[in-house]
Structure 1
């Protein structure tokens, strides 16, 4: 059936505006003013975005299945102890779905490119908060449970989530003047919340000795997650391997694809570790830890979700009403459907 459909044409780096350029990626770019239909059709052809989309779209269904399983098996609507896990799992569903949608429809226009990734950034920062809420409930080492840091950990994570979304969205407005600064700003925006969220885990796994360190079999899963998380950050920041051999990894094997795969694997190990901590430490945590309530779990997640959406809307508004001529100035050839498809610059 697909053989009867004319798939969209792909272009080289010199045929698309600079905004769409990726370090070390020479070919496989989609039309920068694709229609929504063209974007969907591009899922079924090989472009430099195809595997970026599928490596996050397919895992979304795995995490949705896992969320449904946890909710039904634990009757989560009746058991408040499972609420932090459910919030975390929902964040695991939202961030790959938002990412796959952003990569799918970002080639519709320059405005769409920015707005799509605003949602991607908001979803990632919500995932950071989901991690923090579940860590507060199940992962904190025994020594730190009910400490001053523990009591303020989730409120600080909520603040970090808002700051992360704001900085990441703001970085898109600096990309044309200073692409490197824009990239550094995004790296900082997502590195800081991750490092903060994992303070109790780093202490538990690498530094804590003696009684109260929660040294159990789950720590192996936590170590796997930490290793994959740092590999994910390394790939995002370095653009390896395509930077070493531009054009060789345009379609398969470039850093963003590897970044997605490592990120999903890391999330899988993180989910397993959190779930195992929840089950094995259940009696002790119920007796000694901060009580889990609607306000410090579900409500915290919903509040930050609303604030993130508000930030995204505020950053999107200036992009929704630009002068018409500003968007057309990049286009110097005939219309996209013309027989002569001479495109950009």
Structure 2
């Protein structure tokens, strides 16, 4: 591959923003991030589709769906690395803690210093103080604890397929700006799916951030996390119902009631997950089985159409297979607690199973979205010809009903905790029904 020539000095590459402008650093960072996001662009390819990995080209992009426009090789040109380093240095002044907070250092505790309710299996050190204030929780996310990677891996992007909230939020905004949202109801299931992915990632990040305020708040935070996961599962069902259903299932009973059953599934799985926290200390194995069962129920129901289409040979099959592979890996990491179980204390800050769980989950979600978008584009004429056009009730109204029902379940489990008189956490702290 021939090296690309250096850009002309007198031609502004990222818009006419003066270098001394206060927003110049922000433009530098946004330009670099937007370039890095397009990693599926052909490196040095010429013409549409040349040099792209199989299954990532424009051949299965729906009309109006944005494709890669900014090649990553721009950053790899002569001088590109220096520009990226300069933008990173300038970006440090854009997002940073206030000066009076930068010197604040919160203590990190060992598991023996904490009540049982705050401990994690095979994690020995790096805990945040229990009964932290809201500001303490926020500040702790900027210091190295055993939760820091969990917080930021569900919030910030660090590569095209190694982050969650900002990456998927960026894709949602681009899709919303390019698609005819009001005039084309066929795009609604994809947008609903992407929106609920963003909601789940943000809720999970907040749950990990504020889980040390008190034993009660810890349980409520994770109740909300479970509810957001159920809503994400409902979003998957909405998009699968409209784009992924096997040809022989179109207009069948399961096709017509798939979203309705998914709403009931989300309520059931949220209830099971919330209940599992009430028995976690007394019966940890039962708690783990119940919480894992909630995950498996959602997964098996949502991916039923994919298993049925396993031998169809469609263009989206590879993306769906990668999604299924990472989903199985996610479940394994959640239940096995590896590698920290093999060497307690060695993986407290980096590499423990919950961090790997987050990475595996986002990889699976990324491939899931790619598969859904491929089916959306390639099956449009067939699905619309069979009268399977999305409607407001089963794309927008259904998630709203699921949201209200899940909030009601969370409120029912949270009420006994919030009504209980405040008390200091003890080693036997657990929800009281």
* TM-score where L is the length of structure 2: 0.72
* Stretch deviating more after TM superposition (177-186 or 111-120): 177-186
Structure 2 portions without partners, runs of 5+ = 1-98, 157-163, 428-433
Q: Which residue of 2 aligns with 1:116?
A: 221
What are the superposed Cα offsets for residues 40-97 of structure 1, whole Å, 9 maximum, x if unpaired? 1111111110000011011211111111111221121221111111110011101111
Q: Does 1:246 align with 2:344?
A: yes
State the distance in 1 between where 2:200 and 2:269 align: 14
| Superposition RMSD in Å | 1.4
Q: Which residue of 1 aligns with 2:268?
A: 163
**Bigger relative CO (Cα 8 Å, ≥ 6 apart):** 1
Aligned structure 1 segments of 4 or more residues deviating by more than 4 angstroms = 1-4
Q: Does 1:316 align with 2:414?
A: yes
Q: 1:90 aligns with which of 181, 187, 195?
A: 195
What are the superposed Cα offsets for residues 215-263 of structure 1, whole Å, 9 maximum, x if unpaired? 2221001011110111011000110110111111000000000000110
State the distance in 1 between where 2:424 and 2:374 align: 54
* Stretch deviating more after TM superposition (165-174 or 222-231): 165-174
Please give the secondary structure, in 2, of the residue aligned with 1:295: helix
State the distance in 1 between where 2:177 and 2:297 align: 34
State the distance in 1 between where 2:253 and 2:288 align: 35
Matches within 5 A, 1:1-345: 1=99, 4-58=102-156, 59-205=164-310, 208=311, 213=312, 215-324=313-422, 327-328=423-424, 330=426
From the superposition, tell whether residues 141 and 330 of structure 1 become closer, same or farther in structure 2 (CA, over 3 Å).
same
Q: Is the helix fraction higher in 1 or 2?
A: 1
* Stretch deviating more after TM superposition (2-11 or 273-282): 2-11
- C-alpha displacement of 1:123: 0.3
State the distance in 1 between where 2:271 and 2:234 align: 15
> How many residues get paired?
322
State the distance in 1 between where 2:152 and 2:166 align: 11
State the distance in 2 between where 1:95 and 1:300 align: 17
* Stretch deviating more after TM superposition (257-266 or 146-155): 146-155
Please give the secondary structure, in 2, of the residue aligned with 1:107: coil
State the distance in 1 between where 2:346 and 2:183 align: 53
- C-alpha displacement of 1:151: 1.9
Q: Which residue of 2 aligns with 1:338?
A: none
State the distance in 1 between where 2:351 and 2:367 align: 22
- C-alpha displacement of 1:292: 1.2
**Kept after mapping to 2: 8 A contact 1:70/1:76:** no
Q: Which has the larger radius of gyration?
A: 2
From the superposition, tell whether residues 48 and 2 of structure 1 become closer, same or farther in structure 2 (CA, over 3 Å).
farther
State the distance in 1 between where 2:170 and 2:373 align: 15
Structure 1 portions without partners, runs of 5+ = 332-345
State the distance in 2 between where 1:233 and 1:4 align: 38
